[in-house]
Structure formats: structure tokens, C-alpha cells
């Protein structure tokens, strides 16, 4: 039986939906900025947000933020036990520790306090902070060294009777991250695993890299919570996280929009049609498949699995439902016709 942990009312692992996380990109001292970012992240569907706690002075800001947001926060501590204790005292119900140099007797102090108040500890090893000791033990195999770093700390927590843990190992290399996560999943099959790359980079490259690693793991059934780390706004990380889950049919948030790549038969500007329907998608039920196709002859048939669709004609578009054409309209009429067409899916009685 896979174990489930609870951060406030958020369940992770043990059959819960795969969670989508992000990280605040502002210092805690910017109280209003952090609160605004939490609110915006919550609207975008983020379920857990990590926040860097680099110094003891910031614990007061953390307490302030915790009292104003309902979004679960995870305090990011590297290896300073005083910071871990301060985060717990501030009311934070999850902390992330980077296994490394924390003295063992101080770690047991953290464990005791976490146990007392019900705090989840994520053990997150990072490719950038691998110790020479673990690298040596793994004979230079960085993925195995990451695994060993996580294992050492996890064993310590488990030996001390602490079981509310989430495990993760990340690097900026897809291969390293995937192998390290597979090692962890094999050694600790019952505990929730956080998956993602670190420092994946900006733009398309960062998204592709993150997707390759995260999707590679999720498609093997590995991963209970994820973060797409991008050099971008945190809301973008959340959006990409859900897109990955949607593509793997693991979780649906928002509409599944498909559009044809177009070819020589194209009768309309597909991007123009996409722009027309995009504002209407938000009101559709999660998981609705909407197709935008380049021609009316093949489009509805090629996208017959879509519940709603629009296909270009030389002068406008046809609208189709479950592969069957419902009507044909000139382009000028589409702004009036489309809202009613999409609303009718929400309420079939219209
Ligand atoms: S829907 Fe039409 S335009 Fe789009 S790829 Fe198919 S045949 Fe080509």
C-alpha cells in the first residue's frame, strides 16, 4: 500500500491526484509581492508552493504569509536545522531539507519537532550540491550518488520513526534525474516521490527538457507531485505541469485543445480560428476536447473524437460536434455564433 502524506488538507501520494507545485520567485521580505504571487498561483491551479527561507530573520515574514494564504507552503531549508525549526515554529506544515551537511544530532531535533506538530519533510537532493562522499561511494555515477544522498537521509528519518516524507532527486540532466528517481522508487516504493528537473532553463528548451524527464517518469508510474522548474513566471510552470499531466491523460485541468498541423488542403488560417475560440474555452468543463482544423472536408472526420470542433472553409468555418457538422458560417458571423455553440455544450438543453 502506497503511503499518503498530508500537508494541511492537501494529500500527496497513496492514490491522490498527481500534484502540481511551483516556487515563489520573490524574497519573503517582499510580503505583498509574495502574497500576490500565492494568489495568482492558486488561481492557476498550483497546489503547493515552495518558498526559500534563507535566514532566520525571514521566519516572521513566513508566519505573516501563512496567516494570509490558504495555499499550502513548503519552506525550503538547505541544511540549517535552526531554519527548519524556525519554519515549523512559524506554522509551516512542510519543509524541504537538502541532505548534506546537517549534523545528525540536530536533524533528530528537527524530526522530533516535526513529529510533534505533524510536518511533512521532503528530502530533496540536488545535482549541484552532491557531496564528494556520495560521489565516491557511487564511483562517480552522479545518478547513483543522488540516490545515495536521499537514501542516507531517508533511512535516518525512518530509523527515527518518522514516516511523513516525500523523496526527490533532481539535476539539470534528464538522464541523471530519471535514473536517480527510478533508483529511489525501487528502494522506497511506498513513499511519495516529487519529480522534476532543476535549472531546466528558459523557454522551449526548458519546457522540453522538463517534459522529457517528468513525462518519462510519470509514464512509468513514478511520481506523486511535480514541479516544472523554468526560468519564467511561476504560473507558467504550473501551466506546463498540467499540460504534461493532460498529455499523459493522468489529470485534466482545462480544455484539451487539439489543432491540426495544416497541410496543402488547408482552407483557413488555423491560428486565426484558435484566437477566436480561445476566450471561450475557460467556461467549458475540464477535460472537454476541442478541435480546430484547417479544412471542412477532412477536419471533422480527423477530429471525430473531439466533442466540439471548428474547421475552416474558404469563407468561414463549419462547427461540428462529435465529428458531425452542425452548421456552416461566414467568418463575420463567427464571433456571434461561437459563444452560443460553446455554451450549448455546458448546457445541452439550450
Ligand atoms: S484537417 Fe485538413 S488542413 Fe488540417 S491536416 Fe487534415 S487535411 Fe490538412
In CATH terms, the fold of domain 256-346 is Sulfite Reductase Hemoprotein; domain 1 (3.30.413)
Atom of ligand 1 nearest to the CA of 266: 3
For residue 295 and ligand 1, the question of a CB distance below 6 A is answered with: yes
- The pLDDT confidence band at residue 236, using thresholds 50, 70 and 90, is very high
Give start-end residues of each CATH 3.30.413.10 domain in the chain.
256-346
Report the Cα 210 to chain-centroid distance in Å.
Answer: 10
pLDDT at res. 189: 95
Instruction: Over range 144-159, report the average pLDDT.
Output: 92
For residue 299 and ligand 1, the question of a CB distance below 6 A is answered with: yes
Q: Is residue 36 a contact partner of residue 63, using CB atoms and an 8 Å limit? A: no
User: What would the pLDDT profile of 172-225 be if each residue is shown by its tens digit?
Assistant: 999 999 999 999 999 999 999 999 998 777 888 889 999 999 999 999 999 999
Global confidence as pTM: 0.86
pLDDT at res. 51: 97
H or E element in which residue 48 lies: strand 48-52
CA 147, CA 278: separation in Å to the nearest integer? 43
**Distance from the CA of 171 to the center of ligand 1, in angstroms?**
40
Residue 348 has pLDDT above 60, yes or no: no
Residue 337 has pLDDT above 80, yes or no: yes
Residue 121, beta-bridge partner list: 95, 165
In the three-class reduction of DSSP (H, G, I as helix; E, B as strand; rest coil), residue 97 is classed as strand
- Look at residues 251, 37, 50 and name the one whose alpha carbon lies nearest to residue 168: 50
**Distance from the CA of 287 to the center of ligand 1, in angstroms?**
23
Please count the CA atoms within 13 angstroms of the CA of 199 that sit on its side-chain side.
7
User: What would the pLDDT profile of 44-81 be if each residue is shown by its tens digit?
Assistant: 999 999 999 999 999 999 999 999 999 999 999 988 89
Instruction: Over range 99-113, report the average pLDDT.
Output: 80
For residue 309 and ligand 1, the question of a CB distance below 6 A is answered with: no
Atom of ligand 1 nearest to the CA of 297: 2
CB-based contacts of 137, cutoff 8 Å, min separation 6: 145, 148
**b/e map of 311-339 (b: 16 or more CB within 10 Å)?**
bbbeebbbbbeebeeeeebebeebeeebe
pLDDT at res. 349: 54
Q: Is residue 100 a contact partner of residue 78, using CB atoms and an 8 Å limit? A: yes
Atom of ligand 1 nearest to the CA of 267: 3
Ligand 1 pocket, mutate which of 258, 261, 266, 272 (most atoms under 8 A from CB): 266
- The pLDDT confidence band at residue 103, using thresholds 50, 70 and 90, is confident
Atom of ligand 1 nearest to the CA of 263: 8
pLDDT at res. 100: 61
pLDDT at res. 101: 66
Instruction: Over range 311-315, report the average pLDDT.
Output: 90
CA 78, CA 196: separation in Å to the nearest integer? 18
The grid coordinates listed for 151 are 537514501
**Distance from the CA of 336 to the center of ligand 1, in angstroms?**
25
Ligand 1 pocket, mutate which of 299, 306, 310 (most atoms under 8 A from CB): 299
pLDDT at res. 210: 94
Angle ∠(144,138,227) on CA atoms, nearest 5? 25
Place of cell 491551479: 45
pLDDT at res. 156: 87
SS (H, E, C) 218-285: HCCCCCCEEECCCCCCHHHHHHHHHHHHHHCCCCCCCCEEEECCCCCCCCCCHHHHHHHHHHHHHHCC
- The pLDDT confidence band at residue 4, using thresholds 50, 70 and 90, is very high
CA 240, CA 291: separation in Å to the nearest integer? 20
CA 254, CA 278: separation in Å to the nearest integer? 12
Residue 26 has pLDDT above 90, yes or no: yes
**Distance from the CA of 321 to the center of ligand 1, in angstroms?**
17
Instruction: Over range 94-103, report the average pLDDT.
Output: 80
pLDDT at res. 64: 98
The grid coordinates listed for 98 are 537538502
Q: Is residue 270 a contact partner of residue 304, using CB atoms and an 8 Å limit? A: no
CATH no., domain 5-247:
3.20.20.20
The grid coordinates listed for 112 are 522530533
For residue 304 and ligand 1, the question of a CB distance below 6 A is answered with: no
Q: Is 234 exposed, middle or buried (0-12, 13-18, 19+ CB in 10 A)?
A: buried
**Distance from the CA of 285 to the center of ligand 1, in angstroms?**
26
Give start-end residues of each CATH 3.20.20.20 domain in the chain.
5-247
- Count CB-CB contacts under 10 A for residue 261: 7
Residue 153 has pLDDT above 70, yes or no: yes
Any idea which of 169-178, 266-275, 305-314 has the lowest mean pLDDT? Answer: 266-275
Amino acid at each position: 500500500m502506497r503511503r499518503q502524506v498530508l500537508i494541511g488538507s492537501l494529500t500527496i501520494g497513496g492514490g491522490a491526484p498527481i500534484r502540481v507545485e511551483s516556487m515563489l520567485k520573490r524574497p519573503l521580505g517582499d510580503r505583498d509581492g509574495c502574497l500576490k504571487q500565492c494568489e495568482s498561483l492558486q488561481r492557476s491551479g498550483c497546489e503547493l508552493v515552495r518558498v526559500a527561507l534563507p535566514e532566520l530573520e525571514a521566519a516572521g515574514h513566513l508566519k505573516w504569509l501563512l496567516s494570509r494564504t490558504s495555499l499550502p507552503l513548503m519552506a525550503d531549508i538547505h541544511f540549517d536545522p535552526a531554519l527548519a525549526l524556525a519554519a515549523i515554529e512559524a506554522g509551516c506544515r512542510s519543509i524541504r531539507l537538502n541532505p548534506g551537511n546537517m549534523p545528525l544530532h540536530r536533524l533528530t531535533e528537527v524530526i522530533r519537532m516535526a513529529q510533534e506538530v505533524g510536518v511533512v519533510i521532503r528530502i530533496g537532493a540536488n545535482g549541484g550540491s552532491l557531496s564528494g562522499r556520495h560521489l565516491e561511494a557511487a564511483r562517480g555515477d552522479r545518478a547513483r550518488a543522488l540516490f545515495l544522498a536521499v537514501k542516507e537521509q531517508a533511512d535516518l528519518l525512518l530509523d527515527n520513526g518518522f514516516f511523513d516524507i516525500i523523496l526527490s532527486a533532481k539535476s539539470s540532466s534528464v538522464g541523471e534525474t530519471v535514473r536517480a528517481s527510478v533508483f529511489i522508487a525501487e528502494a522506497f516504493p511506498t513513499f511519495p516521490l516529487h519529480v522534476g528537473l532543476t535549472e531546466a532553463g528558459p523557454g522551449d528548451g526548458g519546457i522540453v527538457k522538463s517534459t522529457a524527464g517528468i513525462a518519462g517518469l510519470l509514464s512509468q508510474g513514478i511520481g506523486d507531485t511535480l514541479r516544472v522548474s523554468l526560468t519564467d513566471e511561476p504560473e507558467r510552470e504550473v501551466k506546463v505541469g498540467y499540460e504534461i499531466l493532460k498529455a499523459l491523460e493522468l489529470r485534466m485541468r482545462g480544455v484539451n485543445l487539439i489543432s491540426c498541423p495544416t497541410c496543402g488542403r488547408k482552407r483557413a488560417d488555423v491560428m486565426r480560428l484558435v484566437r477566436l475560440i480561445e476566450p471561450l474555452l475557460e467556461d467549458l468543463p475540464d477535460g472537454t476536447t476541442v478541435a480546430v482544423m484547417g479544412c471542412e472536408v477532412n477536419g471533422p472526420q480527423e477530429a471525430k473524437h473531439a466533442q466540439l470542433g471548428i474547421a475552416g472553409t474558404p469563407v468561414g468555418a463549419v462547427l461540428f460536434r462529435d465529428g458531425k457538422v452542425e452548421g456552416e458560417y461566414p467568418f463575420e458571423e463567427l464571433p456571434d455564433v461561437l459563444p452560443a455553440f460553446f455554451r450549448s455544450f455546458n448546457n445541452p438543453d439550450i
